Amino acid sequence: MSDVTTIAVGDDYDVLIGSGVLARVGTLLGGDVERVLVVHPPTLSVLAGRVEVALTEQGYAVHRAEVPDAEAAKTIGVAADLWALLGRAGFTRTDAVVGVGGGTVTDLAGFVAAGWLRGVRVVQVPTTLLGMVDAAVGGKTGVNTAEGKNLVGAFHPPAGVLCDVDVLATLPEADLVAGLAEVIKCGFIADPAILDLVEADPEAARRTDNPRLRELIERAVRVKAEVVAADLRESSLREILNYGHTFGHAIEQVEGYTWRHGEAISVGMVYVAELARLTGHLAGPEGEALVARHRSVLASVGLPTTYRDDRWEDLLTAMRRDKKSRGSTLRFVVLDGLARPTRLAGPSDETLRAAYGLVGTPATAAAN
């Protein structure tokens, strides 16, 4: 437990990254907490039990709530059930919620904590790569609606985040690979060393028993921590973390959330790279090389870089509902060069469609 990396998110809270650190969850709660609700999916009952034991041994009164797997957890109905549980258990403003699971669970747990009594403490214990490097860090919480992903939510920074890399050993390989999309995203927008590390040994990046993966996690968390500390409420700089997400979220919605988030974001990054090239942001041989690098580095770890070519109208409708839109104007994060993100507002429908054509593959050949 001595080998722990602590990454500060401004002056607000810390992210602890290490092996065998689950027992430290109570140290992030603070001394005035009495009751704790541990939220987890059914697949993580044993792990949640370990968190419960650690908290109980530290004197907390622990309640547990099992929520559905994946995006099915992120509904207002599930949130309402959890609020009812908090009410029955007598949770006060000095009590807390702990989210144990992937990004959907930490999003939900944070949203429930943000809403109860206008905000109680939440500690996030992400158990997926995606959760560790993205969803659990930053304080963005929310649930989905039929109209789109994360359209109802709140900014509610956690009291702390605990990343025990040992739990990734049980993560299905497809989920680990999907999480690498958010790691690679950080390489393109801020830390090119991430790309170099992945390209030097893509297989090491996919292995939970290889120290390369922990290094990638720490680098990605540092990128997000620095951006979030500078812009908690996504008023300016923080938008760069949405690189690839406008198109990626549209894929998720059109596919009924059957695509993993990272898979959709992978295609979304290729899409905005092509969009940047078409609009002159990535110009000349260097620009062409950077667009090609998107495809090569993502494909090297097993992520998709294309999407079926017969869904344009549905995708466009979904993108127009995106949170980053302003009125009828679509906004995208694009690159002016490696680690040089900027914003592109209001590209023409013809340009948007042309970029789609460059990532499209015949529907009969498309595969998730």
For position 259, what pLDDT does the model report?
95
Q: Which of 137, 170, 203 is the C-terminal boundary of a domain?
A: 170
Whether residue 69 lies inside any domain: the answer is: yes
Is 323 known as a binding-site position?
no
DSSP-derived secondary structure for 197-265: HHHH-HHHHT-TTSHHHHHHHHHHHHHHHHHHHH-TT-SSGGGGGGTTHHHHHHHHHHTTT-S-HHHHH
For position 326, what pLDDT does the model report?
57
Whether residue 366 lies inside any domain: the answer is: no
Containing domain of residue 297, as a range?
Answer: 173-361
Q: Which amino acid is at 217?
A: I
Tokens at residue 118, please? Answer: 């206008």
CA atoms within 13 A on the CB side of 31: 0
Above 80 in pLDDT, residue 316? yes
Above 80 in pLDDT, residue 208? yes
Distance between CA atoms of residues 185 and 173, nearest Å: 19
CA-CA distances (angstroms) from residue 215 to 132, 182, 219, 296?
Answer: 13, 14, 6, 21
53/141 same-domain check? yes
pLDDT band at residue 10 under the 50/70/90 scheme: confident
Above 90 in pLDDT, residue 321? no
231/341 same-domain check? yes
Nearest residue to 63 via CA among 17, 112, 103? 112
Alpha-helical regions (H) of 244-368: 245-254, 261-278, 284-300, 312-320, 349-359
Is 181 known as a binding-site position?
no
Is 114 known as a binding-site position?
no
CA-CA distances (angstroms) from residue 242 to 17, 35, 85, 216, 245?
Answer: 23, 35, 34, 19, 5
Above 60 in pLDDT, residue 2? no
Whether residue 367 lies inside any domain: the answer is: no
Nearest residue to 307 via CA among 366, 244, 266? 366
- Kindly state the percentage of the chain with pLDDT values over 70: 95
Report the pLDDT averaged over residues 274-293.
97
Whether residue 107 lies inside any domain: the answer is: yes
Above 50 in pLDDT, residue 63? yes
Tokens at residue 3, please? Answer: 């080998």
CATH number at residue 146: 3.40.50.1970
Instruction: Name beta bridge partners: 329.
Output: 326
pLDDT band at residue 3 under the 50/70/90 scheme: confident
Is 185 known as a binding-site position?
no
Q: Which residues are catalytic?
A: 118, 140, 182, 224, 234, 238, 242, 245, 249, 261
For position 228, what pLDDT does the model report?
87
Is 40 known as a binding-site position?
no
Evaluate whether 122 touches 60 at the Cβ level (below 8 Å). Answer: no
Evaluate whether 178 touches 262 at the Cβ level (below 8 Å). Answer: yes
286 Cβ neighbours under 8 A, 6+ residues apart? 337
How many other C-beta atoms can be found within 10 angstroms of the C-beta atom of residue 24? 17
Q: Which of 103, 137, 170 is the C-terminal boundary of a domain?
A: 170
For position 147, what pLDDT does the model report?
81
For position 1, what pLDDT does the model report?
44
290/212 same-domain check? yes
Which one has a higher pLDDT value, 78 or 139?
Answer: 78
Q: Which amino acid is at 251?
A: I
For the stretch 179-199, pLDDT in tens is 999 999 999 999 999 999 999
Report the pLDDT averaged over residues 44-68.
95
Is 261 known as a binding-site position?
yes
Report the pLDDT averaged over residues 329-336.
94
Torsion over CA of 67, 69, 75 and 81, rounded to 10 degrees? -10
The pTM of the full predicted model, rounded to 2 decimals, is 0.89
Is 149 known as a binding-site position?
yes
Distance between CA atoms of residues 335 and 59, nearest Å: 50
Tokens at residue 363, please? Answer: 């529907």
For the stretch 108-134, pLDDT in tens is 999 999 999 999 999 999 999 999 998
117/195 same-domain check? no
Above 70 in pLDDT, residue 235? no
Is 52 known as a binding-site position?
no
pLDDT band at residue 214 under the 50/70/90 scheme: very high
Task: Kindly calculate the radius of gyration of the chain based on its CA atoms and give it in whole angstroms.
Answer: 20
- Kindly state the percentage of the chain with pLDDT values over 90: 81
Q: Which of 170, 199, 221 is the C-terminal boundary of a domain?
A: 170
Report the Cα 109 to chain-centroid distance in Å.
14
Distance between CA atoms of residues 156 and 120, nearest Å: 9
For position 41, what pLDDT does the model report?
96
Mark residue 14 as left, alpha or beta (left: phi above 0; alpha: psi -120 to 50; beta: remaining): beta
pLDDT band at residue 368 under the 50/70/90 scheme: very low
How many other C-beta atoms can be found within 10 angstroms of the C-beta atom of residue 71? 18
148/223 same-domain check? no
For position 233, what pLDDT does the model report?
64
